[in-house]
Amino acid sequence: MGFASSYLNKHSLFKPFILSEPEPGTGIIVVIPSFSEPDVLNSLESLYDSDRPSFPVEVIVVVNAPDDAGLNILDQNRKTVRQVEQWIRKKCSPFFRVYLVDAPPFPSSYAGAGLARKAGMDEALRRFNMLKNEGGIIASFDADSRCDRNYFTELEKCFSDHQIRGCTIYFEHPLSGDDQLPTVYEAVAGYELYLRYFIQAMRQTGFPWSFHTLGSCFAVRAKVYASQGGMNRKKAGEDFYFLHKIFPLGKFTEVNTTRVIPSSRISGRVPFGTGAAIKRYISGDRSLLNTYSVSSFDDLSVLFSANSGLFNASENQVRNVVAGLPGCLEDYLNNNGFPEAVEQMNLHSASLLTFRKRFFTWFNALRLLKYLNFARENCHSAQPLLLMAGELLRRTGEVASADCAGLLTGFRKLQRGVIWRC
């Protein structure tokens, strides 16, 4: 029995795809889902051209489609299979192996990024289980992404701290040079600015798990992956839900010394994300240029800074704390059973550290998002992204530009310069 045998027996949905044994000492396995993807060879070349770490690396490409996929999708997948097979014959070596998983048709009710990523990550776990390497690194990448040359070596450096359970990886979307329409680059600049504004606003509240959650930009240890139930089967947002199971474990960090470069292009393959946001923008939908008011985050800052005062507090003390919060937040908490939730937190917390963990388990990222939506509808209406991003950037001491690209440059500099940990 290996360290992950129990997980694989209970939760893996497929029999082993790869029959050959992994190279002894393999330390990183990169998983790339590929659905109707014409650019996967560029992703493989980018990884292949990266500096080698001190141990062998594997890449698993999961070519997938739903069982009701159209002929054009199946044709592209067949082309991808041929291309990757040819590439493998030319490029692979014992220190850099690529494996192609030509997955069976996925049931349409589950088919999507989550199931494809799960199939590949479970396969990576199975291979680390064969090696008895519970500290092996499972990295998630995308078939239209590229990376800097030091991608592998910086992951190795990060995980050389044996306490680290996982990491997110710094990213930048291309804003020029990929032969896209100018409006595509406008859209992707706006979308990335929205992501960075949102994360930075979360950080200023004191929310401990304020990490970006992009499917192409994270890595976790094999044992951690198995212990938290593995990847989910969500059609989109699988990265968000998976990582927010990992963050509360602690010992999670960012790797800002290398870079993943996700594609800047239109895509309708998932209902949200970069490609979908660009598609809506091109069609005339400018909603990504509006965002949550910074005032909504300011309200949360008051609550999060006061949460230590709720430890061992009586019912009346809790209600007094809530009554002293901004009115919008007070209404939301009372409508969602917050005083009763705090009582339960205290019943099961012997220390302030345990209480804080339980507090943010209750007030997790999903509840935070629900509050922001509540505040937008009832108290702090949606605001122009440029206005909010500029205000937030000025608070950090950075100079705030008046245009989207300039603001994005400021947020990139800010977030790359500070490593967020939990």
pLDDT in tens, 302-333: 999 998 899 999 999 999 999 999 999 999 99
Q: Are residues 243 and 114 in the same domain?
A: yes
Q: What is the DSSP letter of 148?
A: -
Report residue 330 as tokens: 């007070």
Q: Which domain holds residue 350?
A: 294-378
Q: Are residues 112 and 170 in the same domain?
A: yes
- Please report whether residue 387 resides in a domain: no
In whole numbers, what is the pLDDT of the chain averaged over residues?
A: 93
258 within some domain: yes
Count of beta carbons in the 10 Å neighbourhood of residue 104: 12
Please indicate, yes or no, if residue 181 is contained in any of the structural domains.
Answer: yes
In this model, does residue 241 exceed pLDDT 80? yes
The count of domains in the chain is 2
**Domain identity same for 254 and 374:** no
Do 241 and 315 belong to one domain?
no
- Do 148 and 62 lie in one domain? The reply is yes
Confidence check: pLDDT of 279 > 70: yes
- Global pTM value: 0.95
If asked whether residues 123 and 232 sit together in one domain, one would say yes
Contact 267, 282 (CB under 8 A): no
Whether the CB-CB separation of 362 and 248 falls below 8 Å is answered with no
Q: Are residues 61 and 160 in the same domain?
A: yes
Least confident of 19-33, 95-109, 165-179, 274-288: 274-288
Question: Do residues 171 and 161 touch, judged by C-beta distance below 8 A?
Answer: no
Place of tokens 């009763």: 340
- If you ran DSSP here, which 8-state letter would residue 249 be given? G
**Banded pLDDT at 275 (limits 50, 70, 90):** low
Here the CATH number for the domain that contains residue 240 is 3.90.550.10
Within-domain flag for 226: yes
